[in-house]
A and B are shown apart, each in its own frame.
Chain A
């Protein structure tokens, strides 16, 4: 019996057993495990202890794997976990890591494919809502970790000549994400508390900007015109182009100059933009 199949086979075998979500017997009999070590030799690979059999010792690692994955994803997706409940969330985690096991040195990247995974599921309760919620929480993790870029100061804004704004391009800070949803998931996440653990959910399109200010995470609800204006600016359109395409062509007369003034005042105050480019070459 091959008790020393070699380092690589031992590692391939053990990893295959850990990632397998069946019983230990099913794990050692899996194709992935048997590709390294045949099942009839598996029990000889690990020594039993005085208190545990070889498979029970293997199970110590197997049991910890999913728990660790669930713990990591529940940190990044707390609202999704709250909505689904512990059992359903763990079921989602198990299915997800079966398809997307970690390939990074950090668990921070484990949830990178969760949104696209949820989109493929046919049997998820309130799938569209869960998809929106997951996408919101993923965006928040992204903003949390994004690089820090100082926002424009009041002096920098005031330094822009009034007639230069039409051709100016505003550049958002790095920790900034614009989001569009079918459900009011941002409000849902904010509404959950002890007195209201399960707020009512009704489909309603919403728009949100997630951003960071002074290293703190924030979300701001937007109207659709405001979202489209910010999107145009973030895509590199000049102020004149953005305002014309979004405001004048599409939303007039619903949105007035007063709205524009309030939006820009609030956006500047929240530190949305890191710089403004005047014309073609001049940055402030």
Chain B
């Protein structure tokens, strides 16, 4: 099922990483698309931007940021948005995404994706900020469910319902990170399939897959390894639920060769093709997403 904006299913992509620059420019591999870390290209006039321009000529790109800090109580950073908008236009980004999180307050940046308390106050605040951000960017953004390692006692919403309500009220998209659903479900003890069931199908524009590090007592979203079987199973479930959605394989640390990373992304294609051939139908549409006033 297509998303409500008509963003096409780009297929199976990987992150654009500097260690792969030479391979990409020389070999021009047959990869569907790349995801670009926005902040790496917003303040440089050097080689990374030069390579990005060349990659953008040949491959579909999306921008994915980590500093939008959409849930912070700090004012919206208009200077950041101006640069992001300029970059998106430069590379003709298919869409722009970031995370449902906050990164800092009082002008500081921890450079982490810090968890939100899922309260009505936080939801109302974040809805307004997303609307401002989208007005400035003149396009909808997609927000990713980040891996989280703690929960606040103040929370009155399940994360999935908070995200769904935010997307509906702010009219934004969702980047469903399947690995993050798994990681957070492990850390907090919720049912990952029930989480996916609450995500409005027509708002999902992209999915992420990644490896992680299991510490026993908790899992950290490290993006430094292959995707584990349980996450592949969850991806199959998400595909059955949501249909064909652009899928990205994240590998950001201990990065192996382009071929290995791309190969991991292509596993997702194979799984999806197997699911489609098996003729498994999508689950019935669930009840309406609760509005935040409920």
Contacts and interface: CB of A to CB of B under 8 A. Distances in A.
Interface of A: 3-8, 10-12, 14-15, 18-19, 44-47, 49-52, 54, 56-58, 60-61, 64-65, 68-69, 72, 101-109, 143-148, 174-175, 212, 215-216
A58 B110 CA distance: 14
Nearest to B188: A49
Interface string B175-217: 0000000000001110000000000000000000000000011
A4 B119 contact: yes
Does more than half of chain B's interface fall in helix, strand or loop, or is it mixed?
loop
Contacts of B121: 6-7
Nearest to B105: A11
9 contacts: A7-B121, A11-B102, A15-B110, A15-B114, A103-B108, A105-B109, A106-B40, A108-B43, A212-B46
Contacts of B273: none
A49 B153 contact: no
Interface in B89-108: 102, 104-108
Contact of A8 (B50, B105, B108, B109): B105
B150 A57 contact: yes
Nearest to B72: A11
A105 B77 contact: yes
A47 B122 contact: no
A231 B46 CA distance: 23
B47 A215 contact: yes
Q: Which of A58, A175, A212, A215 counts the most chain B CB atoms within 10 A? A: A215
A49 B111 CA distance: 24
B114 A14 contact: yes
Contacts of B217: 49, 51-52, 56
A132 B50 CA distance: 30
Contacts of A19: 108, 110
Contacts of A215: 46-47, 50
A15 B106 contact: yes
For the complex of A and B, 6 pairs with smallest distance between CB atoms: A147-B45, A4-B154, A105-B67, A57-B150, A215-B47, A51-B217
Interface in B240-289: none
Given A49-B218, A68-B111, A68-B112, A11 B73 contact: yes
Q: Which of B102, B105, B151, B188 counts the most chain A CB atoms within 10 A? A: B105
B112 A145 contact: no
B232 interface: no
